Amino acid sequence: MERLLTRCRALPAPATCSHQLSGYIPRRFPHCAPGRGKRLVLSRMFQPQNLREDQVLSLEGKSDDLTCKSQRLMLQVGLIHPASSGCYHLLPYTVRAMEKLVRVIDQEMQAIGGQKVNMPSLSPAELWRATNRWDLMGKELLRLRDRHSKEYCLGPTHEEAITALVASQKTLSYKQLPFLLYQVTRKFRDEPRPRFGLLRGREFYMKDMYTFDSSPEAARQTYSLVCDAYSSLFDRLGLRCVKVQADVGSIGGTMSHEFQLPVDIGEDRFAICPGCSFAANVETLDLSQMNCPACQGPLTETKGIEVGHTFYLGTKYSSVFNAQFINVHGKPSLAEMGCYGLGVTRILAAAIEVLSTEDCIRWPGLLAPYQVCLIPPKKGSKEEAAAELTGHLYDHITEAVPQLRGEVLLDDRTHLTIGNRLKDANKFGYPFVIITGKRALEDPALFEVWCQNTSEVVFLTKEAVMELLSHAQVV
């Protein structure tokens, strides 16, 4: 970033301010879909803000319900709003960020051959009884009956449903395998004590993938492939996740790993060896012997948030539902399975938890709801003469930097000072905040550019701003 900013500062100066304004007719539009000549303006956004902490506390009912940074900040700036215990309205900024995260997930899953499906949230009880999980899951399973007294659950996961679906295809050949089928949908869990906002709720979004292979060897190769894709995903998001060996729990199978994001409020504890790559959830270790089994070095314990989980299932589910394929010898064989989860809404909240300051949200660069916020001068101020430059810059960015169309937001609340709007922009965490202030009246005009993720502030010409923004990455 520093080299890029240095190059931007060195760009030649543009034409004079009067030349920039000559012949320019500002175009004013209400908030609308992005497109040529249409501006997204902050005053039209549905973004309930509760910027005082006492107002945030009243939203959750009791002060002890507000116990982590991400929950407090997301409520404070209006990213989420409580609907009921453990359930939240996801408001426009959050939906934009989540849609971007889903696009990154789609890219990584489809790069390894994933095919996207969408299964019903309502899952018949007979599927779960077939695997004994109707009773095994206990009270965490949200159950209901329809008017015909038929029992269902709201799926927390879909092993039964996807295996029954594949089993219904009676003519599968080994030549068609592997299948990597995944979805991104709402999931439900009757949490006894929801907490930490989107980190532990009763309703949440999850990416769940289910794989079907022709042999144990092929299934383990697929397992490694998906784990590598998860590592690539978190690398792209700038999140330092640790892959740790884990217990298979109620999902079952013979091998399992969690992807843990180290953070003090994490509810999981895992041990990691500084001398090698070994890491494991403490539930899988003999706590009386806290040496690394791989190198005998000392283990360090830390807390983390589980943002991903992978399981090698073998034939646990395919044997129950008779999910078969015709093998190379022309005989029916049971498919070898794996399942792989990513907590979509949890990743959003966990990223905010680890990247943000106490007062301001910081996003993974790819997930920021909007990449650029433009702040024009206050109405009636000395700088108001340069106000039209902000509109000109908005149009130039959206026309000359194609990836930023729909990513630029104009803070048109010109009854507020630049300082107050900059404070709000810092809280929202736009990667780039560009202010038309006093130096925009100079010749050449200079814009004040805040690069939030690097905490740098520079004054750049319009051409230098365009050069800087041309490197912004968007999904």
Q: Are strands 87-90 and 268-272 parallel, antiparallel or unpaired?
A: unpaired
Residue pair 410/392 in contact by the 8 Å Cβ criterion = no
- Confidence at 2, pLDDT banded by 50, 70, 90: low
At residue 82, the pLDDT reads 93
Asked whether the CA dihedral 84, 87, 93, 95 is positive or negative, the reply is negative
Checking if the pLDDT of 66 tops 90, the result is no
Distance CA 114, CA 108 (A): 9
Mean pLDDT of 176-201: 96
**pLDDT at residue number 101:** 98
Q: Count CB atoms within 10 A of the CB of residue 84.
A: 9
pLDDT for 50: 62
Q: Which of 404, 396, 417 is nearest to 464 (CA)?
A: 396
**pLDDT at res. 67:** 75
Q: What is the pTM of this model?
A: 0.91
Q: Residues 91-121: pLDDT tens digits?
A: 999 999 999 999 999 999 999 999 999 999 9
Q: What percent of the chain has pLDDT over 70?
A: 88
| Least-confidence region, from 3-7, 177-181, 287-291, 460-464 | 3-7
Per-residue model confidence as pLDDT tens digits over 20-53: 434 444 444 444 534 445 899 999 999 876 655 5
Strands 372-375 and 408-410: parallel
The CA distance from 465 to 462, in Å, is 5
List pLDDT tens digits, range 76-97.
999 999 999 999 999 999 999 9
Listed residue (337, 316, 403) closest to 34, CA to CA: 403
Q: How far apart are CA 350 and CA 236, in angstroms?
A: 15
Q: Please state the rounded mean pLDDT for residues 366-370.
A: 98
pLDDT range class, residue 18, cuts 50, 70, 90: very low
pLDDT over 60 (residue 472): yes
What's residue 307's pLDDT? 98
Position 249 scores a pLDDT of 84
If you average pLDDT over residues 267-293, what whole number do you get? 88
DSSP string, 195-241: BTGGGB-SEEEEEEEEEEESSHHHHHHHHHHHHHHHHHHHHHHT---
Long-range contacts of the stretch 164-173 (C-beta < 8 A, 24+): 164/127, 164/321, 164/323, 165/119, 166/212, 166/318, 166/321, 166/323, 166/335, 167/318, 167/321, 167/322, 167/323, 167/324, 171/326, 172/324, 172/325, 172/326, 173/325, 173/326
Q: Is the pLDDT of residue 372 over 80?
A: yes
Residue 64 pLDDT class (50, 70, 90 cuts): low
Read off the pLDDT band of 19 (50, 70, 90): very low
pLDDT at 343 over 60: yes
Q: What count of other Cβ atoms lies within 10 Å of the Cβ of residue 139?
A: 10
Report whether pLDDT(15) > 60: no
pLDDT (average), residues 318-322: 98
Window from 185-189, 290-294, 356-360 with minimum mean pLDDT: 290-294
- C-alpha to C-alpha distance for 192 and 187, rounded to whole angstroms: 16
Q: Give yes or no for residue 132 having a pLDDT over 90.
A: yes
Range 208-229 average pLDDT: 98
